[in-house]
Amino acid sequence: MNFVLHGHAVSTGITVGYAHLVSTARLEVAHYEVAEDRVEAEVKRFDAAMRTAQDELYELKTQIAADAPAEFGAFLDLHRMILNDSALSQVPRELIRSRRANAEWALVQQMERLSERFDEIDDPYLRERKADVQQAVERVLKAMMGGADTSKSLAEAGATEEQKLIVVAHDLSPADMILFKRHRYGGFVTDVGGVTSHTAIVARSLGIPALVGLHHAHRTISEGELLIVDGVQGLLVVNPDAAVLAEYRGRQTQLKAERQRLKLLKKTPAATLDGTPIELFANIELPQDTPEAIEAGAEGVGLFRTEFLFLNRKDLPSEDEQFEAYRQVVQAMQGRPVVLRTLDVGADKAMDGGDGSHNMPNPAMGLRAIRYCLAEPQIFLTQLRAILRASHYGKVRILLPMLAHVHEIEQTLVLIATARQQLDERKLPYDKAVEIGGMIEIPAAALALPIFMRRLNFLSIGTNDLIQYTLAIDRTDDAVAHLYDPLHPAVLTLVANTIQTATRGGVPVAVCGEMAGDLKLTRLLLGLGLRNFSMHPSQLLLIKERILRTRLADVQTMAQRILRTTDPAKTRDLLTELNT
Ligand code: PEP
Ligand code: MG
CA 386 to ligand 1 center in whole angstroms: 22
Is pLDDT above 60 for 291? yes
Instruction: List pLDDT tens digits, range 475-506.
Output: 888 888 889 999 999 999 999 999 999 999 99
Q: Which protein residue has the closest C-alpha to ligand 1 atom 9?
A: 305
| Average pLDDT for 556-568 | 95
CA 201 to ligand 2 center in whole angstroms: 11
Average model confidence (pLDDT) across the chain: 89
- State residue 133's pLDDT score: 87
Which 3 state secondary structure label does DSSP give 301?
strand
- State residue 237's pLDDT score: 97
Q: Which protein residue has the closest C-alpha to ligand 1 atom 10?
A: 465
465 lines ligand 1 (CB under 6 A): yes
- State residue 69's pLDDT score: 60
Q: Where are the alpha helices (DSSP H) in 431-473?
A: 443-447, 449-453, 463-471
Is pLDDT above 90 for 144? no
Where does residue 423 rank: exposed (0-12), middle (13-18), buried (19+ CB within 10 A)? middle
60 lines ligand 1 (CB under 6 A): no
Lowest mean pLDDT among 30-39, 93-102, 393-402, 416-425: 30-39
Rg over alpha carbons for the chain, rounded to the nearest Å, is 25
Active-site entry in 198, 218, 373, 536: 198
Q: Is 198 a catalytic residue?
A: yes
Q: Architecture of domain 3-242 in CATH?
A: Orthogonal Bundle (1.10)
DSSP 211: E
State percent of the chain over pLDDT 90: 65
CA 198 to ligand 2 center in whole angstroms: 9
- Could you state, in order of their start, the residue ranges of all structural domains in the chain? 3-242, 270-578
Lowest mean pLDDT among 58-62, 123-127, 191-195: 123-127
CA 391 to ligand 1 center in whole angstroms: 23
Which of 178, 439, 468, 533, when mutated, tests ligand 1's pocket best, judged by the most ligand atoms within 8 Å of its CB?
A: 439
512 lines ligand 1 (CB under 6 A): yes
Instruction: List pLDDT tens digits, range 189-202.
Output: 999 888 888 888 88
What does the alpha-carbon distance between residue 444 and residue 406 come to, in Å, rounded to a whole number? 11
What does the alpha-carbon distance between residue 399 and residue 508 come to, in Å, rounded to a whole number? 13
DSSP letter string, 345-413:
-BTTB--TTT-SGGG-SSGGGSS-HHHHHHHSHHHHHHHHHHHHHHGGGSEEEEEE-S---HHHHHHHH
Which 3 state secondary structure label does DSSP give 440?
strand
What does the alpha-carbon distance between residue 312 and residue 3 come to, in Å, rounded to a whole number? 36
Q: Is 183 a catalytic residue?
A: no
| Average pLDDT for 77-92 | 91
Q: Which protein residue has the closest C-alpha to ligand 1 atom 8?
A: 464
Between 273 and 1, whose confidence is greater? Answer: 273
Instruction: List pLDDT tens digits, range 438-475.
Output: 999 999 999 999 999 999 999 999 999 999 999 999 98
CB 388 within 8 A of CB 423: yes
- State residue 156's pLDDT score: 41
- State residue 73's pLDDT score: 76
Active-site entry in 8, 218, 373, 512: 512
| Assigned superfamily of 270-578 | Phosphoenolpyruvate-binding domains (3.20.20.60)
The CA–CA distances, whole Å, from 409 to 47, 322, 365, 439 equal 59, 22, 18, 11
Ligand 1, residue 460: give the atom nearest the CA. 5
Measured N-to-C along each axis, helices 242-263 and 537-548 cross at an angle, to the nearest 10 degrees, of 70
Which of 464, 491, 511, 518, when mutated, tests ligand 1's pocket best, judged by the most ligand atoms within 8 Å of its CB?
A: 464
Strand-strand pairing, 165-169 and 14-22: parallel
299 lines ligand 1 (CB under 6 A): no
Where does residue 454 rank: exposed (0-12), middle (13-18), buried (19+ CB within 10 A)? exposed
Are 3-242 and 270-578 the same fold in CATH?
no
20 lines ligand 1 (CB under 6 A): no
441 lines ligand 1 (CB under 6 A): yes
Lowest mean pLDDT among 169-173, 178-182, 329-333: 178-182
Angular region, 529: left φ>0, alpha ψ -120 to 50, beta rest: left
CA 201 to ligand 1 center in whole angstroms: 9
